[in-house]
Amino acid sequence: MAASNMEQIVSLCKRRGFIFPGSEIYGGLQGTFDYGPLGVELKNNLKRLWWRHNVYERDDMEGIETALLTNRYVLRYSGHEKGFSDPLIDNRTTKKRYRFDHLLKAQTPEVLTLLAEAFNLPADTDGESLADALLQEPEKAETALKAAKVIDSADGKPGDWTQPRSFNLMFKTQVGPVADEESFAYLRPETAQGMFVNFKNVLDSTNRKLPFGIAQMGKSFRNEITPRNFIFRVRELEQMEIEYFVFPGDDEAVHESWIQDHMDWWVNEVGLSRENLKLFEHIKLSHYSKRTVDILYNFPTLGFDELEGIANRTDWDLGSHSRAQDTLPLSANTAEKAMKNEHSVEKLTYFDDKTKKHIVPFVIEPAAGVDRGVLAALCEAYDEETLENGEVRVVLRLKPALAPIKVAVLPLKKNEPDIVATAKRIKNTLMAEGNMRSVYDDSAGIGKLYRRQDEVGTPFCITVDFDTLGRSNTGDNTNEGTVTVRDRDTMQQERVKIDDLLPYLQARLK
């Protein structure tokens, strides 16, 4: 069973220290969240799995980490200054602000048909395409929205809508002490551009041959109009992105293989069930894209929504960031539509040994959200199980590799020095030799401690008792030197020799 609504996850995250609202004691800062003691472990584990799969386990990848503060020209020639915007609209009555395409998508087909007719479009035009069309003629749009009685979900009534307008999502920040027109930089809205502008640096310093890729994980910033749904849409987000460079012509097959590879990764390594994932083929493509396929996850409350986007960006990015573009063998779309670059000092090309010519590689971009990955893993793992005695146990059935704590070592009695000392020794040995995050906890009775560990997804609890010390009250000391190991999912307990603990756990924590 997975979570049935987002509230269960939000409440668990706050209660057990996974995720808190940002700047909470000052009333919060919308669209920001802080990862707590367990959240940071879960997030780091997810990133570690991703890095291992996409960088270490392949022979064709390099990792980098580029600056968050970005020269404005990077984001001018990438197209973000002009085009990285969302449509925005306000209702004068409720004072509510909406992303215009989201507002339209929430309307009935009848309302959408009325709008489409007003703009001479086919009656079944979808909300996103309608938003694009209306944005071109804002005055006419205002009249049409009124006539079609577009509803505001806040009060369920037709809104008094303003004209829709575009809103650039990039955050600007001042660099250096003097604030003038020239001294600003952007906080990067995606990690991707750092990889494109470093294409030559990576190529020259590693002597890579095509095909090869660059991977990066890190923060990005988007001034989302309506951040919402917990960490699904935030203003400070974290991404895990790959730019995989190929010979033009190989792009389509390589694109397909990344889609399959990453779909399998979410299932096999993150533990998402295949029924909760599906692929979405974009019909309407961004200016740079030849094909884009999203991996969607079935989030509770939200339904299927984007977890990762995998795009074939052709030679758009390397072409756009190059100088002297007219000397390069660019594809027709890039040659025609990319902005003429007047600031770059580099040609981002690759010398093909076979043809002895410089080419501009195509790029396949798998781009996933860390926060959305954490959210999906939590939603999938959440379970409420009714026990035989009628009690409800909340258990996070996380894959062991993702679990924030791998092993909790619990003393049966906290006022028995020998039990406590043995438990602490076991905890330290597992941490040191097994490199597995282990905790010692004696803050409650054993039943309560088990429940707490279940709720945060700890796969194993070890309990040290009188039998361990050879002080069984039955006089039978056959269990001396053993502890009980309790499995989170089955709640079964097994006695294991202390000396065998490390291999026992290592075999089960994979």
Q: Which residues bind ligand ATP (CB under 6 A)?
A: 190, 222, 224, 233-234, 237, 239, 306-309, 367-369, 371-372
**Cβ nearer to ligand ATP, comparing 307 with 423:** 307
In our burial notation (b when 16+ CB lie closer than 10 A, e otherwise), range 264-286 reads ebbeebbbbeeebbeeeeeeeee
297 vs 302: CA distance, rounded Å: 10
Smallest gap from Cβ 372 to ligand ATP, in A, equals 4
Say if CB 456 and CB 38 are below 8 A apart: yes
Q: How far apart are CA 183 and CA 170, in angstroms?
A: 16
Residue 118 or 376: the one with the smaller Cβ distance to ligand ATP is 376
> Distances from the Cα of 221 to the Cαs of 191, 202, 227, 237, 258, in angstroms?
10, 25, 12, 6, 26
Q: Which is nearer to ligand ATP, 270 or 412 (CB)?
A: 270
The four Cα atoms 375, 380, 381, 386 give a dihedral, to 10 degrees, of 130
Q: Measured from the CB of residue 50, what is the shortest distance to ligand ATP in angstroms?
A: 12
Beta-carbon contacts of residue 379 (< 8 Å; ≥ 6 apart): 2, 3, 6, 9, 297, 299, 300
| CB 269, min distance to ligand ATP, A | 17
Distance in Å, CB of 222 to ligand ATP, minimum: 5
CB of residue 285 vs ligand ATP: minimum separation in angstroms?
Answer: 12
Bridge partners, 217 (sequence order): 240
How many C-beta atoms surround the C-beta of residue 318 within 10 A?
28
**Which tokens hold the place of 464?**
């040290």
Query: For ligand ATP, which is the closer residue by CB, 375 or 419?
Result: 375
Nearer to ligand ATP, 230 or 460 (CB): 230
The rounded Cα 39 to chain-centroid distance in angstroms is 13
CB of 369 to ligand ATP, least distance (A): 2
Specify the residue, 53 or 486, whose C-beta has the smaller distance to ligand ATP. Answer: 53
Closest residue to ligand ATP, based on beta-carbon distance: 369
- In the complex with ligand ATP, which residue's Cβ is closer, 378 or 410? 378
**Shortest Cβ distance from residue 114 to ligand ATP (Å)?**
26
- Residues whose CB is less than 8 angstroms from the CB of residue 162 and which lie 6 or more positions away in sequence, other chains included: 89, 90, 91, 92, 142
